[in-house]
Amino acid sequence: MDDHAAPIDFSGLIREGDLVVSGQATAEPMTLTAALMAQAADLPPFRMMVGPIFSDTFPAGGALNVSFQSYGVIGNARRLAKAGRLDVIPSNYSAFCADFASRRHRADVVVVQLAESGGRLSASLSNDYVIDAARSARLVIAEINPEAPFTFGAEWPEDVPIHMRVPARRPPVELASPPLDDVSCRIAAHAAGLIADGSTLQFGVGRIPDAILSSLSHARNLGIHSGLINDAVVELIERGAVTNAEKGLDPGITVTNQVIGTKRLYRFVHENKEVSVRPTSYTHGHGILARINRLVAINSALQVGLDGSVNSETLNGVAIGAIGGQLDFVRGANASPGGRAIIALPATASDGTSRIVANVETATTPRADVDAIVTEWGIAELRGCGLAERARRMIAIAAPEHRDALSAQLGGLSR
C-alpha cells in the first residue's frame, strides 16, 4: 500500500443520512476516522456518533457534510460543542449503550479499532456500545492495530461480522495523567479519609481522581470495578495497594469498561488475565454494583447546590460535561454494603466564581441520591440531612470568600 494513499475510499460506502458510529476515547480507530474526515466534504451528508474525544481528528470548522452526536461533552468534544456542531443526547451512559443493544439506536456504518492475538480479535481499549452497534450495521470496518493491547473480556464476538479490515497506521490514542496541583491534593487528602482498606473503587478521568488514587498507595486490599482504568491503577497494583481480594465479586480481577492512559497501561493490560474489560451492562449494572463490597464511587461536578443536587452537564445553558456513569455509580455505591458515593470538586471555578451555588441549573444527580461532597475546604456529609442542615454543611466547604453571599441567599438560615 502507498503510505501516502488513503487507507480506504469511503465514496460509495457512506450513504446520505447514515449514522456512522466510531470507537470512543482511546479506542478511536484514528486511521479510519482521519480518512473519513479527510473525505467528508466529498461524501453525502451523514451523522457521526462519538464519545469522549482525546485526539485532534474531528475538526470544529470547515464545510464538512457531517453532523456529530454524543452522550456528553468530554475532552476535545468541547471544540465541536463550542462550534455548535455537537448534538448531545442526555442519557446515562448505561442507558445509551443499552439503546444500541435494543436497537433504539441503529448504526449504519461502524468503524472500530481491534487488537489481534493468535487469530483472536479483541475490542481492546473499550467494551462499550460499538459491538452492539455492529450487530445490526450495514457495514463494519475494523482497523487492526498491532500496538493495541489484547484484553480479556472484550473479545470480538464471532457472530458479529467484520466486512472490511484495514491495517492501522497510527498507534492508539494516549492520555497522560495531568499534573497534580495544590487544590486537587487538598481535595484528595479529605476524600482519602472516606476510603477504608478493602474498598472497591470507581473513578473517572481528571486531576482530582488521579490525586485521590495517588493518595491511596498506603491502603490495603483495594479493589477496582470502574468505568475506566488509567496509569494510576498500575501504580497502585504494583505497590500492592490493589489486590481485588475483598470485592465480593470477581476476586483478584480488576474490572473496567475502558482503558484510558499511556503505553505503560497498555503494556500492563495486554493479555493480562487479572484485568477484564467488560461490557457496560456488567460494569455499570445496578444489580452487579449492589453486590460489590464497600464500593466507593468517586465522581466530579461542575456545580453542587446547597441542597446537594449535582450538576455535571451544563453551565450558563451550554453543555460542557456529561451525565456519563455518574448516577449509575452513585446509586450502585449507595446500594453496596458499606459503600460511599463521593462527589469531589474545587470550591471555585477558574474565573473565581463559586462552584457551590444556591441552585444548580441542571440536576445530573438528584439530591436524594447524594452522599458526600468534597472540596479543598472539607467534607459535607449529606446523607440523611434535612435541607437546612445540608445548606449549612455545603456553605462550610465553599470557598471562604463566597460563604457570606451563599448565606445571604438563604435569608440567614445558615448563620
Q: Are 20 and 47 in contact (CB under 8 A)?
A: yes
SS3 258: strand
Q: Are 137 and 107 in contact (CB under 8 A)?
A: yes
How is residue 41 written as a grid cell?
Answer: 466534504
Burial of 165 (0-12, 13-18, 19+ CB in 10 A): middle
At residue 61, the pLDDT reads: 82
Structural domains present in the chain: 19-167 (3.40.1080.10), 182-409 (3.40.1080.20)
At residue 277, the pLDDT reads: 98
Q: Using alpha carbons only, what angle is made at residue 68 by residues 62 and 70, rounded to the nearest 5 degrees?
A: 145
Largest Cα separation within the chain, whole Å, is 73
Q: Are 53 and 28 in contact (CB under 8 A)?
A: yes
72: phi then psi, degrees, rounded to nearest 5: 180, 175
pLDDT in tens, the chain (415 residues): 345 667 899 999 999 999 999 999 999 999 999 999 999 999 999 999 999 999 999 998 876 799 999 999 999 999 999 999 999 999 999 999 999 999 999 999 999 999 999 999 999 999 999 999 999 999 999 999 999 999 999 999 999 999 999 999 999 999 998 899 999 999 999 999 999 999 999 999 899 999 999 999 899 999 999 999 999 999 999 999 999 999 999 999 999 999 999 999 999 999 999 999 999 999 999 999 999 999 999 999 999 999 999 999 999 989 999 999 999 999 999 999 999 999 999 999 999 999 999 999 999 999 999 999 999 999 999 999 999 999 999 999 999 999 999 999 886 444 4
DSSP bridge pairs for 378: 375
Outline where 217-285 has alpha helix (H): 231-238, 263-269, 280-283
Instruction: Indicate the angle between helix axes 207-214 and 231-238, nearest 10 degrees.
Output: 0
The pTM of the full predicted model, rounded to 2 decimals, is 0.95
d(CA 133, CA 130): 5
Q: How far is CA 234 from CA 191, 242, 263, 269, in A?
A: 20, 9, 11, 9
d(CA 234, CA 231): 5
8-state DSSP, 236: H
d(CA 385, CA 273): 44
d(CA 258, CA 248): 22
